[in-house]
Amino acid sequence: MAAQANRLGTVADNIANGSTAGYKRASAEFSSFILESGVSDYQSGSVETNIRYGVSEQGALSYTSSITDLAVRGDGFFVVSGSDAQPMLTRAGSFVEDGEGNLVNAGGFKLMGYSLVNGAPSAVANGAAGLEAINLGSVGMQANPSTEGNLYVNVDADAALVAAANLPSANATTAAFSSKTSLIAYDNLGREVTLDVYFTKTAANAWEVAAFDQSGAATGGGFPYSAAAVLADDALAFDPATGKLTAANAQSLTIPVPNGGSLVLDLSQTTQLAANYTVLSAKVDGNAPSSVSEVQIGEDGTMFIVFQDGSRVAGYQIPLATVRSPDNLDPLAGNVYMPSIDSGDMLIGFADQGGFGAIVSGAIEQSTVDLATELTAMIESQRNYTVNSKVFQTGAELIDVLVNLKR
């Protein structure tokens, strides 16, 4: 009777959590408990109850309009933390921003991730070191200085030569040049800095590239520039057979942006062909001061902060965690789990890699409870409880008969 009562308890919890996102159904599994009996006597045993949780069972995905509603398709759990900062696991991914900007789910647990502010994270596979609560409130209006970009052009192989004394790198006053392209970069405060990039032919299959700060140019632009306007220059050598940069040639130009960082301008796809000067690609990262418009989350867990000017910055990467035996995790209040001896230790990795599932933005995983199955189990438990009570009553009647034998 106690075993059936336990089963009814799991049924009650399952039905109560039929609409709880990420809930994994519980079940009562029975095993026989037999006492040692003699040849002529039978010693009544009992039944042992083991509560199992179908944690590894994939729930159906329900799609929503919220980008921060997250689900895992495949293996893996989100790493969350409570008020005690203890890392725990969950599949309940209905995250919203709280008053402090943290992403929290319905249980009040904060979503953990790796910050990408300083580049790729140093993930620890067997621990939560380096993880921090994902906070969107800290990402206010911000400007990002330019650090990388590309400028792929074709320079005219038949362009006229320029004497060494008249090259832009040697003569910022009356220099001659072959071609010019201007680029917008950003300093540390988000101010636009216009860079004038000159390509000048110095010899057969040899060119010079030089970058100037346009703010130091003459009225109306161009030469003469002030001496401080000269930012960087380098030589380019092209293969006469292919028109591509030689392998030994520098493939980029590092430009110190005034009041900014070092802009590494990729030139690797620049060619020298018998055609007019043509800009093939020109891109520079960074952005002017702009407020956050939205966030975007990829299947690999990378969270991009999208600003109102359309620029995107990778802010966090959301990891996933797993254990060797998910069904043996210890469930806690709030629809979270803790690793146990039976489940094995926690292993952390990134979505879409190494056997981990994909993160789906704009979706939540539904409960794995099937109401028809639970109602059937409830009827079975109720019937079994009633039958066992009859056995108990019959045993009591036998004792009454035995007691009344002396009368």
Which two structure tokens, joined as six digits, stand for 367? 């409960």
Q: Please report which confidence band the pLDDT of residue 84 belongs to, taking 50, 70 and 90 as the band edges.
A: confident
- Length of the chain, in residues: 407
Distances (CA, A) of 201 to 71, 164, 276: 57, 10, 13
Which pLDDT belongs to residue 278? 97
Domain 143-289 adopts which CATH fold?
Answer: Tick-borne Encephalitis virus Glycoprotein; domain 1 (2.60.98)
Cβ atoms of residues 303 and 315 within 8 Å:
yes
**pLDDT average, residue stretch 129-156:** 88
Report how far residue 311's alpha carbon sits from residue 296's, in angstroms, rounded to the nearest whole number.
12
According to CATH, where is 2.60.98.20 located in the chain? Answer: 143-289
Strand-pair category, 148-156 with 271-273: parallel
pLDDT range class, residue 83, cuts 50, 70, 90? confident
Q: How confident is the model at residue 37 (pLDDT cuts 50, 70, 90)?
A: low
Confidence category of residue 407, pLDDT binned at 50, 70, 90: low
List pLDDT tens digits, range 186-224: 999 999 999 999 999 999 999 999 999 999 999 888 999
How many Cβ atoms are within 10 Å of 375's Cβ, its own excluded?
12
pLDDT for res 162:
94
Token pair belonging to 185: 């970069």
Question: Residue 28: is its pLDDT beyond 70?
Answer: yes
Q: Where are the beta strands (DSSP E) in 44-141?
A: 46-53, 61-63, 70-73, 77-81, 87-90, 96-97, 103-104, 110-115, 132-133
Contact 367, 57 (CB under 8 A): no
pTM: 0.65
The predicted pLDDT at position 77 comes to 95
Dist. CA 93–CA 59, nearest whole Å:
12
Q: Shortest CA distance to 59 belongs to which of 300, 370, 326? A: 370
